[in-house]
Every structure is written in C-alpha cells, then in structure tokens.
Structure 1
C-alpha cells in the first residue's frame, strides 16, 4: 500500500465510520426517540428522512467544491459540518431541533463519502484501484454490522443522546489527523463557478425522488399521490438537468458523458441494483430475526454479525485480484454466491437452525465483499483522473437512490405478503424477490471488463490533490 493511500485511510476511515455508524444506530433508536421526545413516530421518522435527503442533495456539489477549495479543505469542511450536526443532535430539545441538526449532519456526510473516494482514486492511479477501494471500503463493511449492535447497546443501557455523542471522538480524531497529515493542496481553480442552474435542477430532483421512495413504506405501495408526485417531479428535474448538462459547452455540475463508457455505465447500473442485493436485504434481515425468530434489536444485530465477518474475509483479496484480473468475474461470481446464500432464508421458517443461517450469512458476506469492491473500482477504470470527482458523484448517487428504491420495493412486497399469508410466508416471498434481483445483476455483470490489459487503462498514479486543470491532466495522459 502506498504512503499516500495509508495516509488517506488513517485520516478518513474514522470519519466515514462515524457517518455509516450513525445511519444504522439511529434507525435502531427511532421508537425510543419518539417516546422520549413525546412525538408521533411519523414525525420522528424525519430524523432519518431529513438526513438522507440532505445527504443526497449535497453530493452533486462535490466536484465543484474540490476544484474551488481543494481536497484537504473539502474534507475538513465536511467533517466540521457532521461534527456540529452531531453535537447539536445530542443537545436537541425537541423533535424539530433534532431533525434540523440531522439535516446538518446529512450535509456533512453527503460530502464526505465522494470526497474520500475521489482522493483515494487520484492517489493510486489505475492499477491500484482495487486495493484503494478495499482500503477505504472498510467502513462500508463495519457500519451495517456494528451499527445496530452499538445502537441496541446504547438504547438499552444509556440515554438516547449518546447515539450522537459517539460520533464526536471519531470526528475530532479525523479532523486533527487531516489538519496534520493531509498535504496542503492547491485548488484547481479558486474562481471555479458553480453551475447554479444545474444545482437547482439536480439536487431538488434527487431529494424529491428520495422523498417519494421514503413514502412508499408509509403508504404500502407506489400508487399514492405522495409517492408518485415527488418521484415524477424529481424525475422531471433530473431529466431537465441531463438535457442541459449534455448540451452545455462549459463544464457541467456533473459530467453525464461518462455514461458513454460501457464499464462505467455497467458499474452504475449494478451499484443501483445493489440497493436490492445489499441495502434492501439489510432492511429485511433484522426484521426477520425480530418478527419471525422473536429476538430483540440487539440480538438481531448480533445475529447479522457473521455477514460482516464474511465481507472482511474477502475484501483484501478482492481488491488485490481485481487490480490484476479486472472486475467482471469477481462481480459475477460474487453475485452468484450472494444469491445462493440467500436461498436458506427463503426456505427458512421459525424453527430453522440459527447456526445454519449464521453460516449462510458468512458465505453471503464473502460474496458481497467480492461484489462491492471490484464494482466501485471498476467504475473508475479507464477514466481520466480529472473525471474522478464526477464518477464519485454519479456512483454515490446510484447507490443512494438504488438503496432507497430497493428498500421501498422490498418493504411493499413484505407488507402485502404479510397481509395475504402471514409473517413466515411473507419473508420467504421477500427473500425470493431479493434473489431474483440478484440474478438480474448477474446478467449485467457480464458487461464489465475482464482482463486488466485494456489499452485505455492508464498506469500512472496522480497526486492526492485535485489537479491543476482538467485540460492539463488530459494532455498529461
């Protein structure tokens, strides 16, 4: 591992852990928050919804922010916003104040993830993409596994305010290290102009789609006006942004021309489908252990831990081998492993041996590690270094919207199947849907590149900082 990548990992992984822990910890504590703040659950749900909307809305400005103030300042800004939001949430005096501070948290978290991806990719060059993704992807493995466990422990043993205080040491640690260890970088253009019109189209469009999807579970279907309306409006705004961005001579807020590259397009589609494979299933599995198996939230979190163990076992090898052989067959094989290891859950009932399910989760996690790391690494393959911020924005948005869509679809399937045939049969049906979407992703995986000797792949690493100019970087290659 290069010194630059080690430095980035030491500085940034603690901060991103705080973001991913926070998302899952708060989800466990929603009922406690509603009770302690004497607020209806429908209102307190905005603690999560507001956070996710803010996170999605700020992602598109990442590229402009990196060009305007540089990587180091962008990271420090993102961490500071998240830290202030965490402290404010811990001191919140009402549901409204808590929701407001959570929106501030979401703004910081939304900047943090694409900034980290961009700087890591620019630090290693094309041949180190798999290793870089495996290194910075550690929080994505640990967050969904440890978050529910930590959340359950806090809710059961401490005040709800500690679900936000736990972020503070991680944020301070990352801020101090960033100040001391990250090199002072020169922004690409201190006078870079923000595409305000593009931002006014894209950010509200993404937020509207995410909001509509968040309402699917409330109304148990896609046919309600509060679901269809925001999604249609959001899709219209995003379409208007796409038309404008593709016809604009000046550099757009987000460069959609990256979709001309087959590898990037296939990766983006697969990252969207990972909403069903990963995020949707992570919604269903804790509920399965609680509603069918009768466990509390803490026990359900502990029972999901084997999946994280499986991901840890495969992530390092997946990164190294992706650099050597390309992402196609690792993603293809990983998705097949995920599909097969989900079958025991589709066949399980209330009496199925939990050791069998734990073993299936280890295998499933192993497969997921072989999917996510090569997939993210593959999305940058063959791109110019100056395109990295745009690729980070688009891949993060695909994951965000795909996760919301996957969770919404599976929530509807589960609710309707429960009403029709009871809980046990409903979860069986929902897991079969998850397997079907995984099978669809297997077909898309064949569009990914195989060998790494593709002539468009460049071998030269580039600096950690955002380069001097887009044109200069293209000429350098």
Structure 2
C-alpha cells in the first residue's frame, strides 16, 4: 500500500532511543560488575571470615536463589505497576543491598544481604530489556545491541580487574560500595529519561502459581547449590529440597496451562524460535557459567596470582567479545542466526579445548589467547540467540517472554556451577592424603592450594610436596574442563535447528517484539 510507513529497518537509532539505552546500560553494568567482582573475592572471604570455600560460595548462591524467587513476579509486576517505577525500585533495592553487604560483619550476614541484592538484581535485566524493546522496536534490536554490546561488556572485563585492585589496595568492602554512585546516577537518569508509566488494567495475579513456582525454584536451586558442600547427592540437605522443589515445579508446569494469565506463560514455547533458542541457551549456560567459575580459581589457586592479576588475565575473554558483538548485532538484523551461531560455538569449543590440557605451568600466552578466542565466540553467540528467541513475540508477550528466558538462564547457571564445583572438589579429594600433627588429614593438592593462596602461612613447606599438589590440582581442573567442553559441543545440536531463513515481515504490522536478554 502506498500509504504504508517506511519499514523500521530503514530507521537509524535516534537520540531518544540511545538515552533510554543509557539507563539500561547503567543497570546492566552495575549488576554484571557485582557478579564478576564477587567471583574473584571468594578466597578473600575465606580468609576474612575463616570459612570454607563451599560456605563463602553461598555469597553467589544466595544471590541466585533470590533471582529465581523474584524473576517469575517481574512480568506481572511490570504490567501492574509500570516498567519505569518497577525498574527504579529494583535499582534502589540493589543499591541498598550493596551498601548493606559492605557493612557485613560475618559470612552469614553477608549472605543475607546478598539475597537482598538479588531481589533487586533479578528484576533489572528483564525490565531493562522490556524497556529497550518498546523504545527501539524489533527491526532495530540487532543494531541496538551493536551499540549496547561494548559498554555492557565493560562489566565482565572491568569487574575482576576492579575487584582485584580494590581488594589489593583497600578492603573487600569497596567491591560492594562501588555500586552506590552507579546506583544513584542510574536512579536519577531513569527518573529523567524514561517515559511516564501508563500501566494498563492489570491481569489477575496467579497466587497459586506463585506458591508453587517461586518456592519450587528456590528449593530446587538450594539443593543443587548444596551439592558442592555436602559432596554427595544422597545427603538430606541435597536430595530433600531438590525433590520437593522438583515436585512443586512439575506441579506448576501441569497447572500453568489452566489459568488465562499464569505466573509463567509456558504457552510461549509454542513459538518454535523461542523453544529452540531456549534449549540452546540453557545447555550453553550450563557449560559457560560452570567454566566461568573455574577460570579465576585456576589462576588464584594453582598459579598463585593475586586477585588483581587474576582479573587482568580474564580480560582477554571480554576483549574478544567486544570485537565480535557489534558485528554479530548488525548481522542479527540481516542474517538468520542459524547460519552464524554454530560457527561462534565452534570458536568457543576451540578456545576451551586448551583448558582441557592444563598443567601447573601452562603458558599464559596460550591461555590468554584461548580466552580471547572464546570471547570472539561469546560475542557471536548470546545476543544473536536471544534476538532470535524473542524477536517474534508480540508486544503483550514482551515482559513474560523475558521472564521465561531469565528463569531458564538462572536454572542453567546454577546447574553448571554445581556440576563443576562438585567435579573439581571430587578430583581434588583424590590427591594423596597427608596426615597432620594435630591428627587431621589433608591432601597434597589442598596443601599446595593453601600455600598459593597464602604463602605467608606456609613458610618452609616441602617444595616437592607442593609441586606434586599443584600438578595434581592442574590435572583436576583439566578433567573438569573436559565436561564444560563436551557441553559446548553438545550445544551445537540444538543450535543447528535455529532459524536459517529470514523471517518475512509480520503481516499484522506488530513491531513490538522483544529484545535479547543479557546473561546475569
């Protein structure tokens, strides 16, 4: 028709869209910084609070449990209260939680305050992407992510470096206090830039679904996350919440097709693109999040690097993603993701293969080069898959589609970290036992790792014993990386079913599909 408006593909990103993008970037960097900063601080928490690694790992696990609890509520709450109000509330809650974390005097209170942080952090990403979608429209999503990709990647690059530097030159408290100025700026910026909310009459709230899904996810992830500490799935603390959580989740799945407006809309999986991309991203997240836990641990525990140096050594991965993410964002608007994502996954597998050959003295040039190659693949994987998954959803499905994908990411991330933690711990426990004068027995690998983390606590230690322990520990990491490698290769199977043909224009003219979701 001659009166039809020009297609959105002909439009460039205007100033109004870029201003809204700035709000989302600030929230994303704040939340991503927090995750990556804490990952390099775990050994510091061990020393500061005199706790085991499994115990301090709950500073990350508690955050994840909170995410799983609050994410299902986000779609309904966005419809009920409006995205601007809810986004500002999420930023405020996250910022307050960060400040409280800095005041923690014990590992227990730190974990509790991390849960509070997670209640705010769980809403940031789905809300931010919903806001971006409505501002930009579906045909400009790929181009928009090309603009947003680089600043968003500053979080994972700068997080370990900034966290390591703050711990080295100041105290661990500052890794949380850095969120205070960013949070205040984000609040003011959101108030000034985001359009006024005009929430439509809200759907009825699915209380029964909430009573099954949120506690079910929390219990399931609690059991999974307890596995590294307990060391066996037969422990009551592991299997009991896992079984209870699984039953509640299964009950929710069976129930969710009955109400008109369920808490989590599983009917969206009827969309083939969303279903295939969700399977792909879930398998990939299990591998990526699990491996992501191992990289800094190897540098800290086997190579004896400081937290700052460990952060710097992780930077090549983010730099590699910075190279390909803008390209992938542009291609996502033009080339079906089924033609690009498999090649990106192959790059990740190639880079990860190096880590299956780890030794106690593997060249840093080789490791950093491999991380860079993995980063190149990362930049061409996450955003295109999410673009494909959610680009075909209509405007009324935006918030709920984002919520659904975020839930799958959190479950996949928790499964990945639990699997890799258990495997690594199991391999390390197979090291030669050494009896101590006080009657305790530790392994050579544990002694060697302790000497690397705190050389001052092991003066005059048997150098031959430490070297044997380090060699064994490096082999334990390599064996665990084989599992992550296999999972990345497995991801190629669903990736081959991603769209390989361009989608024709929506005959309804609906331009309000949704945007990709950043991993949190």
Tell me if both proteins adopt one fold, taking TM over 0.5 as the criterion. yes
2:233 matches 1:230: no
- Corresponding residue number in structure 2 for 1:129: 141
2:351 matches 1:301: no
For residue 371 of structure 1, report the CA deviation from its aligned partner. Answer: 0.5
- Corresponding residue number in structure 2 for 1:283: 293
For residues 116 and 151 of structure 2, the distance between their equivalents in structure 1, rounded to whole angstroms, comes to 21
2:257 matches 1:246: yes
- Corresponding residue number in structure 2 for 1:13: 25
Call closer, same or farther: CA 1:128–1:308 in 2, change over 3 Å.
Answer: same
Gaps of 5+ in 2: 1-12, 432-471, 515-520
- Corresponding residue number in structure 1 for 2:443: none
- Corresponding residue number in structure 2 for 1:175: 187
RMSD of aligned alpha carbons: 2.3
Call closer, same or farther: CA 1:221–1:365 in 2, change over 3 Å.
Answer: farther
The number of residues matched between the two structures is 462
- Corresponding residue number in structure 2 for 1:105: 117
SS in 1 for 2:312: helix
Counterparts of 1:194-205 in structure 2 under 5 Å? 194-205=205-216
For residue 357 of structure 1, report the CA deviation from its aligned partner. Answer: 1.8
Counterparts of 1:56-455 in structure 2 under 5 Å? 56-138=68-150, 141-189=153-201, 191-248=202-259, 250-420=260-430, 422-454=472-504
1:276–1:407 CA contact under 8 A, matched in 2: yes
SS in 1 for 2:181: helix
1:275–1:407 CA contact under 8 A, matched in 2: no
Larger radius of gyration between Structure 1 and Structure 2: 2
For residue 216 of structure 1, report the CA deviation from its aligned partner. Answer: 1.7
For residues 361 and 94 of structure 1, the distance between their equivalents in structure 2, rounded to whole angstroms, comes to 35
2:392–2:513 CA contact under 8 A, matched in 1: no
Call closer, same or farther: CA 1:275–1:204 in 2, change over 3 Å.
Answer: same
**Larger helix percent:** 1
For residues 152 and 362 of structure 1, the distance between their equivalents in structure 2, rounded to whole angstroms, comes to 20
| 1:384-424 deviation digits (Å, cap 9, x = unpaired) | 12111111111111111101111111222222333447222
| 1:288-343 deviation digits (Å, cap 9, x = unpaired) | 22333332332122111101000000011101101111211221111011111212
For residues 307 and 134 of structure 2, the distance between their equivalents in structure 1, rounded to whole angstroms, comes to 40
Gaps of 5+ in 1: 465-477
Deviates more, 1:11-20 or 1:166-175: 11-20
SS in 1 for 2:66: helix
SS in 2 for 1:247: coil
1:262–1:447 CA contact under 8 A, matched in 2: no
Call closer, same or farther: CA 1:42–1:432 in 2, change over 3 Å.
Answer: closer
For residues 463 and 263 of structure 1, the distance between their equivalents in structure 2, rounded to whole angstroms, comes to 13
Call closer, same or farther: CA 1:418–1:30 in 2, change over 3 Å.
Answer: closer
SS in 2 for 1:364: helix
Call closer, same or farther: CA 1:117–1:458 in 2, change over 3 Å.
Answer: farther
1:323–1:452 CA contact under 8 A, matched in 2: no
SS in 1 for 2:412: helix
1:148–1:297 CA contact under 8 A, matched in 2: yes
1:133–1:377 CA contact under 8 A, matched in 2: no
For residues 150 and 98 of structure 1, the distance between their equivalents in structure 2, rounded to whole angstroms, comes to 20
Call closer, same or farther: CA 1:60–1:14 in 2, change over 3 Å.
Answer: same
For residues 458 and 162 of structure 1, the distance between their equivalents in structure 2, rounded to whole angstroms, comes to 51
Deviates more, 1:144-153 or 1:452-461: 452-461
TM-score after normalising by structure 1: 0.90
For residue 132 of structure 1, report the CA deviation from its aligned partner. Answer: 3.5
1:30–1:45 CA contact under 8 A, matched in 2: yes
For residues 441 and 140 of structure 1, the distance between their equivalents in structure 2, rounded to whole angstroms, comes to 24
- Corresponding residue number in structure 2 for 1:469: none
For residues 301 and 435 of structure 1, the distance between their equivalents in structure 2, rounded to whole angstroms, comes to 22
1:127–1:458 CA contact under 8 A, matched in 2: no
For residue 58 of structure 1, report the CA deviation from its aligned partner. Answer: 0.4
For residues 38 and 424 of structure 1, the distance between their equivalents in structure 2, rounded to whole angstroms, comes to 25
Call closer, same or farther: CA 1:222–1:463 in 2, change over 3 Å.
Answer: closer
